[in-house]
Amino acid sequence: MEIGRRLLLGLALGLTLTPPLAAALDPFGFFAGIASAVYERLKSRLKECCTEDWIPLDVTGLKANLRKNLFGQHIAIDVIPKAIEGFLSNSEPEKSLTLSIHGWTGTGKNFVSKIIAESLYKEGMDSKYVHLFVASLHFPNAQHTSQYKQQLQQWIHGNVSACERSMFIFDEMDKMHPDVIDSIKPFLDYYSHLNRVSYRKAIFIFLSNAGGVKINEVVLNYWKRGMKREDIRWNDLQDHLALEVYNNKNTGFWHASLIDMNLIDYFIPFLPLEHRHVVLCAKAAMQSRHFKDVEQVAIKVAEEMMYFPKDEKIFSIRGCKQVATKVDYWTTADKET
């Protein structure tokens, strides 16, 4: 009590008077006050807080990182940083940001959400302000839907109350029960406040395979006509994508309701990966393990993957998935011979 009061007094004196004078009037309180202020600073340095130090929102880093590490996705590389930059530069956004990312297996959807998390939050995916929900893992049982709904709403509410710059990633969106998705809707909408909490600075990312087949079709058609995939524009795919996702009976239900209400800000297509992209993925995996001679193994790895369609064999069936495992296999095999 006594110490606490002197501490406060010391702090107040230190702030209002010139330091030497404050120190002379109440040396103990003054120095204790400084110590406590230093302690607070240190604590926020050491333990993650909802501050700029921990949430640097580094869009420049995001751009660079995507350009360097994401292969074969020129649309995503262009659109994602712009979408996020626009959102972050608005100090009074009308609603939370929602990105819906679509594409075939292994094209980099999870990888990109990780890069986004790492650029915006110092702790990346480990940040307590970044939340990943995987449908088959977190909401596996249709019977428990009402419990999931309640829990999810509480979590979003609780976490955004603690930090308005929270990010929520929903993986396997196409496997989520429509009711669970319904329960997220209010947080995506244009309400200014909901139970006194504003959700307008939060980011929601939805990942799904929905529309992947359609995207593949469009890219294949480009290839067949001898056109470069890099010339495919966002608009060429976006309408296809919205329509496909909207009408597909398996995935249409959830998307339809989100699209109807205009709650999704961006549909981002991920294109199927070709042999040359798999080579790049393998090289990157090896470089991150500090291997020097990457060329040969990368080609071996890419040759081991399977490709579709049956006749043309252009796109990797599993994208770059398991490439890292194959790299491990070949690099250990090399060492032993």
Q: Which residues bind ligand NAG (CB under 6 A)?
A: 131, 154-155, 158-159, 162
The CB-of-50 to ligand NAG minimum distance in angstroms stands at 12
Q: Which is nearer to ligand NAG, 89 or 154 (CB)?
A: 154
> How do beta strands 203-208 and 97-103 pair?
parallel
Please name which of 244, 239, 189 lies closest in space to residue 213, comparing C-alpha atoms: 244
The CB-of-155 to ligand NAG minimum distance in angstroms stands at 4
**Alpha-carbon separation of residue 28 from 13, 16, 37, 42, 61 (angstroms):** 12, 16, 14, 21, 45
In the sheet that holds 266-270, the strands lie side by side as 130-134, 167-171, 203-208, 97-103, 266-270
d(CA 334, CA 91): 54
Please name which of 138, 146, 197 lies closest in space to residue 171, comparing C-alpha atoms: 138
The CB-of-76 to ligand NAG minimum distance in angstroms stands at 25
Other beta carbons within 10 Å of 57: 16
d(CA 197, CA 192): 8
Residue type, 136: S
The CB-of-156 to ligand NAG minimum distance in angstroms stands at 8
Other beta carbons within 10 Å of 58: 15
Q: Which is nearer to ligand NAG, 57 or 125 (CB)?
A: 125
Q: Which is nearer to ligand NAG, 73 or 166 (CB)?
A: 166
- In the numeric block, the tokens 């490439």 are attached to 323
The CB-of-109 to ligand NAG minimum distance in angstroms stands at 19
Contact 120, 58 (CB under 8 A): yes
Q: Which is nearer to ligand NAG, 205 or 219 (CB)?
A: 205
Q: Which is nearer to ligand NAG, 76 or 152 (CB)?
A: 152
- In the numeric block, the tokens 């340095």 are attached to 45
Residue nearest to ligand NAG (CB): 158
